[in-house]
Amino acid sequence: MVQIHPPLPLEMIKEDIKRLLIPLIEKSGCELWGLEIATQQGKGKVLRIYIDAIQGVNLDDCEKVSKEIDYFFQFEDVFSDFGSFEVSSPGLDRRLFNLQQCKNFVGDVVLLTLFSKVEGQRKIKGILQEVLDSEISVKTEKGELLLDFSNVEKCKLDLDFQLGKKK
């Protein structure tokens, strides 16, 4: 009798992938910034791997990490559902994947997409005011919001604000 297993929850898959990738990425002098799983027409599922380093990352770093990962991508079961993978830097408008990353950008403008509406909004733009144990405080044009980070689907730095900081 063939036993069919239900698909693993996405977060469990990401954790398994992180366990494999972190040592490979660190060996290259970089750190894992985050993972995204996307679907692209004609490519199926794509694993996006964002890397960073204290000095920043360039194309050579991405290429080096990509070569390190390539062998595992072909032979490890955890990657079997993916058609391809991409390695890149998080960029100026980087996505913030966790509360620890948010702490480094208090005072910056963020763009948030929420799973569930808060005060009638799913998309919010505001200044990241504070990062607590499981919540973030964001100052918007309408006032300050305290948001449970588990309700944040996506948190990105605002590119225009970041470009203004560089001047």
pLDDT beneath 70: ranges in the chain: 1-8, 166-167
Res 4: pLDDT: 47
Per-residue confidence (pLDDT) for residue 167, from 0 to 100? 57
Query: Domains in the chain, please, with CATH?
Result: 10-88 (3.30.300.70), 99-166 (2.30.30.520)
Q: In the structure encoding, which two tokens stand for residue 94, read together?
A: 């980087």
Confidence (pLDDT) at 3: 45
Per-residue model confidence (pLDDT) at position 143: 93
pLDDT digit string (tens) for 45-90? 999 999 999 999 999 999 999 999 998 898 898 898 899 999 999 9
Cα–Cα nearest to 71, from 85, 89, 88, 52 = 85
pLDDT at 8: 58
- Tell me what pLDDT residue 1 has: 44
The structure's pTM equals 0.87
Q: How many CB atoms lie within 10 A of CB 155?
A: 25
Of 139, 84, 88, the residue nearest 110 (C-alpha): 139
pLDDT at 122: 94
- Interhelix angle 10-27/59-75, rounded to 10 degrees, is 130
